[in-house]
Amino acid sequence: RKRKTPFRVRQCGHSWNALLLALMCAAVLISATATTAPNIQYSEKYFDMDFEYRHVVLPAEVARLCPKGKLLSENEWRQLGVQQSRGWGHYAIHRPEPHILMFRRPLGTDPVTGSVATGALASKTKTHNEIPKEK
């Protein structure tokens, strides 16, 4: 004999297992970035004549969520829980240690707006978005 349920389940063409799996994956992703964000380590800034640099060390749980073999957009690294002022660009992948994100921004960048101050650096042609691809 079939049990009657207090509510009706509407058939929508999706299996319950697939829906449950999607919800579980979303919960893991949210909890991983929310709980491990404090474990992200930030280096001090260092400089050359054109840029200021810093690197960020991701904990293993967050590094697993990181897309492999590509430079991250600002949206992507912020979704991983990396927090820093505006203007930083992910500019290189250190293959032996892909859990370390390397950032740079032009000297004179306003940390609030992310815009580069006019002046000597404005005449430079390369920015952190114009990086040659590794071979």
- Rounded to the nearest 10°, the torsion over CA 105, 39, 74, 134 is 70
Query: Is residue 66 very low, low, confident or very high in pLDDT (cuts 50, 70, 90)?
Result: confident
**CA torsion, points 44, 58, 130, 134, in degrees to nearest 10?**
120
Q: What is the pTM of this model?
A: 0.61
Q: pLDDT per residue over 20-37, tens digit each?
A: 556 665 555 555 444 445
Q: Which structure tokens are listed for 131?
A: 């990086």
pLDDT at position 70 is 92
Q: Would you place residue 12 in the very low, low, confident or very high pLDDT band (cuts 50, 70, 90)?
A: low
Residue with tokens 């280096």: 43
**Mean per-residue pLDDT for 94-98?**
89
**Can you list the alpha helix ranges (DSSP code H) found in 1-135?**
16-36, 60-63, 74-79
